[in-house]
Amino acid sequence: MTIVVTRIDERLIHGQVAYSWSVAYQVTEFIVIDDGVAADPTQLLLLSLAVPSGKRHAILSVEDAVKYLVEQSDQEKTFIVVKSPRVLLSLIEKGIILPSINVGGMYYKAGKQEISKTVYLDEEDKSIFLKIRDHGIPCEIRTSPNDKSIDLFTKI
């Protein structure tokens, strides 16, 4: 497996992710990593329906995702999507190698500061991203594949 995109998007799989990103990066597999979603039958069904026809997918807890990512040796072009940078830091700390991280949708909540039109961070988020940077992983802000890439670290 080759991880071609790792994205933070609170909406997980939706039209833009399912189609624009999968076409731009020739994605053959989607992996959603979220403990809550993986345990919710309704969310499992809804996200499964959002995956384009002919694409593989898995909706996994963090623990199951680590096992899955370590054990896979097929030729899939994998798109990983999570809701939070905390999940990605957990994967990284468990030995999963992520070439880069795309931050596309972390939306406004009380206490969060606007970094871009679609990215709002609080101090905890910033701290997590700085730990990710310490692992040498670049993070960009980009809503769609055609948008200009902005280095997240220049904004925090």
pTM flag (> 0.85): yes
Task: Mark whether 135 is an active-site residue.
Answer: no
- Per-residue pLDDT tens for 70-80? 988 788 999 99
Q: What pLDDT digit, counting tens, does each position of 84-101 carry?
A: 999 999 999 999 999 999
pLDDT score, position 113: 97
CA-based angle 55:119:53, to the nearest 5? Answer: 10
Pick one of 3.40.35.10, 3.20.20.150, 3.90.79.10, 3.40.50.720 as the CATH number of 2-154.
Answer: 3.40.35.10
Looking at 1, 12, 14, 104, which residue is catalytic?
14
Residue 18 gets which letter from DSSP?
I
- 37-77 pLDDT, tens digit each: 999 999 999 999 999 889 999 999 999 999 999 988 788 99
From 97, 103, 84, 91, select the one nearest 155 (Cα to Cα). Answer: 103
